[in-house]
């Protein structure tokens, strides 16, 4: 299902500031060399993540699902001077690609990449979070949320990507393990009294969740 009209997308991209040179390079590299390049946030969503981060000026950011590093470089732009972004990636090859881009960036010493299972690693990082971006395996979204939520500061934000899951959550009968998991995540949030939430129909759907 096409969630955003192509002409609207092109118009929005035309009037959105261009990507930084290195961030554009991550995109080009990924589109040229990676079989799953569609996972990358891309121009509009990347700029949205950058804007949110620049508004919040976070000290500690956690990203779950690094891929080739595009969204991490966008989120890092809002970090305060002594801010740190932790990002977690399961696949060693993607983590190595991301690290090669981080090392060439201004954020070389501000981005820490962890390689392995996110659920294990989240528990091992002794931090409290101003901003969390969930963008790894959809079946674990509820687990990720439950694990990070106690460590999110009051008024801190969790952003979750792909919460419309290509429109599959709109269907009468939701099929496929990922769409079912996303629907369960969205329904779980409906019941929570300790968050304020907004489902933004940007790209594949981004949930903005503020811890009260």
The residue with tokens 């949320």 is 145
Does the footprint of ligand SAM cover residue 186 (CB under 6 A)? no
Phi, psi angles (nearest 5°) of residue 140: -105, 5
Please state the closest distance from residue 69 (CB atom) to ligand SAM, in A.
Answer: 7
> Which residues have C-beta within 8 Å of that of residue 192, sequence separation ≥ 6?
none
Q: Which stretch binds ligand SAM (CB under 6 A): 51-59, 88-96, 170-178, 200-208?
A: 88-96
- Alpha helices by DSSP H, listed for the chain, are 6-14, 21-33, 42-56, 70-76, 92-103, 118-124, 141-148, 177-191
Centroid of chain to Cα 31: 18
Q: What whole-number distance in Å separates Cα of residue 169 and Cα of residue 180?
A: 8
Please state the closest distance from residue 155 (CB atom) to ligand SAM, in A.
Answer: 23
Q: Which stretch binds ligand SAM (CB under 6 A): 66-74, 104-112, 124-132, 168-176?
A: 66-74
Which of 70, 102, 129, 141 binds ligand SAM (CB under 6 A)? It is 70
Q: Which stretch binds ligand SAM (CB under 6 A): 67-75, 149-157, 184-192, 202-210?
A: 67-75
Please state the closest distance from residue 194 (CB atom) to ligand SAM, in A.
Answer: 25
CB 127 within 8 A of CB 153: no
Contact residues toward ligand SAM (CB under 6 A) are 39-41, 65, 67, 70-71, 88-91, 94, 117-118, 135-137
């Amino acid at each position: 299902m096409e969630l955003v009209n192509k002409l609207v997308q092109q118009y929005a991209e035309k009037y959105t500031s261009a990507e930084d040179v290195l961030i554009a390079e991550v995109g080009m590299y990924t589109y040229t060399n990676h079989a799953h390049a569609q996972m990358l946030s891309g121009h509009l969503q990347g700029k949205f993540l950058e804007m949110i981060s620049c508004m919040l000026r976070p000290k500690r950011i956690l990203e779950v699902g690094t891929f080739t590093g595009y969204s991490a470089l966008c989120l890092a732009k809002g970090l305060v001077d002594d801010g740190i972004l932790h990002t977690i990636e399961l696949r060693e090859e993607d983590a190595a690609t991301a690290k090669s881009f981080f090392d060439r960036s201004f954020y070389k010493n501000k981005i820490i990449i962890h390689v392995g299972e996110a659920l294990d690693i989240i528990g091992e990082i002794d931090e409290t979070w101003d901003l969390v971006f969930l963008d790894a395996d959809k079946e674990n979204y509820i687990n990720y949320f439950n694990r990070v939520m106690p460590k999110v500061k009051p008024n801190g934000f969790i952003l979750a990507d792909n919460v419309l899951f290509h429109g599959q959550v709109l269907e009468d009968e939701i099929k496929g393990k990922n769409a079912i998991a996303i629907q369960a995540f969205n329904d779980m949030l409906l019941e929570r009294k300790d968050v304020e939430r907004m489902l933004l129909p940007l790209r594949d759907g981004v949930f903005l969740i503020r811890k009260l």
